[in-house]
């Protein structure tokens, strides 16, 4: 006999054999469920009246079964508290396979590209959520649009045009579940259309390089110098290029204006495609951010943006502004991948953008991150041999190491031992063994109170000779807190 309860106050599913008697069958089934852990200690069972009604048994049969299990120590009963499962040793079972350990959270997270999620605009998000749910029509809770909600695409078209100089209309925007998915879908579309080679910045984001390669496309290294990607190195047979022109990852330099023009000229003359990852485009601290390359050649550029660094990675909200001929293939690829991106988050983000709460949040974050960057640069300047690179922008600083000192691997290992998480430069090159060494130090992920402590931990390691662990400074300097709070 198998029953599911739908009318009683508590849901419970249990199967039992009534051939030897209903009461004994119910008792055996409950014992088995308790031994298996399906009814853990402390679980509240349905009332005898409700269970009997749904089972089609007499209440006396269920009461007798409960009483027997109470006597045996499987259940406990107390007036006003109902009947609950007692602490009962489970039967010995074969030891399950040990699950893979969860990755340890670093005590001091100074990895690049991560925002301060403790500063997530919770109040603004809640206010937008309430407005969205109050106004939502029933169809909002149904299947979504693989291209993305029109409300968000309209909001993004206005916002990107106003803040990044992007030329677009809502029908040219596709919303994806993060930039990682968007780049993967685009790589598949390009591969299906015959694209065989894509130039990728060297150094560049190795994760995204691997995404392109998994689509069966060959990636060609495009060298980077102090003026950004060396456009003159693009081979004539290269069909597309993936780059971060506003703030190159990881060197931090913007693409030189002359090279921006040369890149657009290359795309127009060859029919090549430019995939613009607007990495940290919102975070320029000394002047207005560099405008998007897409605004110069909108029919030859795929513009990629995301809320991961402005709001939080967990939202999984990103967007692509596409040339007209790529819109339908991308919508089809998105539909085949996961049908559509979660709807309510799109509507809440659209409300944040249209009410300008998104702008206010970014302005506040820009001020906060600028102060953190200044604090980091001050510590670097006081440390002999270290050199910081990149314009005042983004969420990290690239630091090159002095010759004759500890290697990148040695420093990373020492930092990890002291609970400090960083990233090295060499792994971002196409050929790591031949590349220069350095550290990427993020300054956004820790909370305001944790950031000075993280810097102290980092520079204690950097000041050490690899054997000593003596701090060179007090654990918390008043000047650090004053810089962070603008005093």
Architecture of domain 360-484: Alpha-Beta Complex (3.90)
Distance of alpha carbon 153 from the chain centroid: 21
Looking at residues 403-415, what average pLDDT do you find? 93
Tens digits of residue pLDDT in 257-270: 999 999 999 999 99
pLDDT of residue 63 exceeding 80, the answer is yes
Residue-wise pLDDT tens digits, 117-154: 999 999 999 999 999 999 999 999 999 999 999 999 99
User: In terms of Cα–Cα distance, which of 16, 102, 110, 103 is closest to 65?
Assistant: 16
The torsion angles phi and psi of 268, rounded to 5 degrees, stand at -70, -40
Residue 485 reports pLDDT greater than 80 = no
According to the model, what pLDDT value does residue 468 have? 43
pLDDT at 474 over 50: no
What pLDDT, in 10s, does the model give residues 346-356?
A: 999 999 999 99
Of the candidate CATH numbers 3.40.720.10, 3.40.50.720, 2.40.50.100, 3.40.640.10, the domain formed by 120-358 belongs to 3.40.640.10
Q: 2-85: which CATH topology?
A: Arc Repressor Mutant, subunit A (1.10.10)
DSSP string, 370-386: HHHHHHHHHHHHTSTT-
pLDDT digits (tens, 9 = 90+) for 278-307: 988 899 998 888 899 999 999 999 999 999
d(CA 287, CA 460): 33
Asked if 126 and 320 count as a contact pair (C-beta separation under 8 A), the reply is no
pLDDT attached to residue 259: 98
Query: With 90 as the cut, is the pLDDT of residue 478 above it?
Result: no
So where are the chain's domains? 2-85, 120-358, 360-484
On the question of pLDDT at 390 being above 70, the answer is yes
Model confidence at 89, pLDDT cuts 50, 70, 90, reads: low
* Confidence bin at 323 (pLDDT 50/70/90): very high
Per-residue pLDDT, averaged over 374-382, amounts to: 96
At 289 the pLDDT is 81
The Cα 320–Cα 324 span in angstroms is: 12
**Nearest-angstrom CA–CA distance, 107 and 383:** 23
Global pTM reads 0.85
Shared fold status for 120-358 and 360-484: no
% of the chain exceeding 70 in pLDDT: 90
Q: 284: which strand partners?
A: 393
pLDDT of 192 over the 90 cut: yes
Mean pLDDT score of the chain: 90
CA 210, CA 184: separation in Å to the nearest integer?
10
């Amino acid at each position: 006999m198998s029953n599911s309860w739908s009318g009683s106050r508590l849901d419970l599913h249990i199967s039992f054999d009534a051939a030897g008697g209903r009461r004994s069958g119910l008792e055996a089934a409950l014992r088995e469920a308790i031994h298996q852990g399906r009814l853990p200690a402390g679980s509240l069972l349905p009332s005898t009246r409700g269970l009997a009604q749904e089972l089609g048994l007499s209440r006396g049969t269920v009461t007798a079964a409960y009483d027997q299990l109470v006597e045996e120590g499987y259940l406990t009963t107390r007036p006003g508290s109902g009947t609950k499962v007692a602490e009962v040793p489970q039967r010995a079972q074969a030891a399950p396979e040990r699950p893979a350990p969860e990755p340890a959270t670093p005590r001091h997270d100074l990895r690049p590209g991560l925002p301060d999620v403790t500063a997530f605009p919770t109040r603004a998000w809640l206010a937008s959520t309430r407005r969205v749910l109050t106004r939502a029509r029933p169809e909002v809770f149904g299947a979504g649009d693989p291209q993305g909600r029109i409300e968000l695409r309209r909001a993004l078209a206005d916002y990107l045009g106003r803040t990044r100089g992007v030329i677009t209309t809502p029908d040219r925007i596709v919303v994806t579940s993060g930039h990682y998915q968007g780049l993967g879908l685009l790589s598949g579309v390009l591969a299906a259309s015959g694209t065989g080679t894509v130039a990728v910045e060297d150094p560049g984001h190795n994760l995204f390089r691997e995404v392109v390669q998994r689509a069966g496309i060959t990636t060609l290294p495009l060298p980077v110098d102090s003026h950004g990607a060396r456009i003159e190195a693009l081979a004539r047979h290269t069909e597309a290029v993936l780059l971060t022109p506003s703030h190159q990852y990881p060197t931090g330099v913007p693409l030189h204006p002359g090279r921006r023009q040369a890149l657009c000229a290359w795309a127009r003359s060859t029919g090549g495609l430019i995939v613009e990852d607007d990495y940290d485009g919102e975070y320029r601290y000394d002047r207005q951010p560099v405008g998007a390359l897409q605004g110069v050649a909108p029919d030859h550029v795929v513009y990629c943006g995301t809320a991961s660094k402005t709001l939080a990675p967990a939202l999984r909200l990103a967007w692509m502004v596409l040339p007209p001929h790529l819109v339908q293939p991308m919508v089809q690829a998105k539909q085949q991948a996961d049908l559509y991106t979660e709807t309510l988050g799109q509507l809440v983000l659209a409300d944040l953008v249209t009410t300008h709460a998104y702008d206010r949040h970014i302005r506040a974050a820009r001020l906060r991150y600028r102060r953190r960057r200044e604090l980091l640069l001050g510590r670097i300047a006081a440390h002999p041999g270290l050199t910081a690179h990149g314009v005042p922008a983004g969420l990290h600083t690239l630091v090159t190491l002095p010759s004759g000192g500890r290697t990148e691997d040695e420093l990373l290992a020492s930092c990890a031992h002291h609970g400090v998480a960083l990233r090295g430069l060499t792994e971002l090159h196409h050929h790591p063994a031949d590349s220069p060494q350095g550290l990427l130090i993020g300054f956004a992920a820790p909370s305001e109170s944790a950031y000075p402590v993280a810097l102290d931990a980092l520079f204690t390691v950097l000041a050490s000779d690899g054997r000593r662990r003596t701090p060179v400074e007090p654990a918390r300097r008043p000047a650090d807190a004053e810089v962070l709070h603008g005093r």
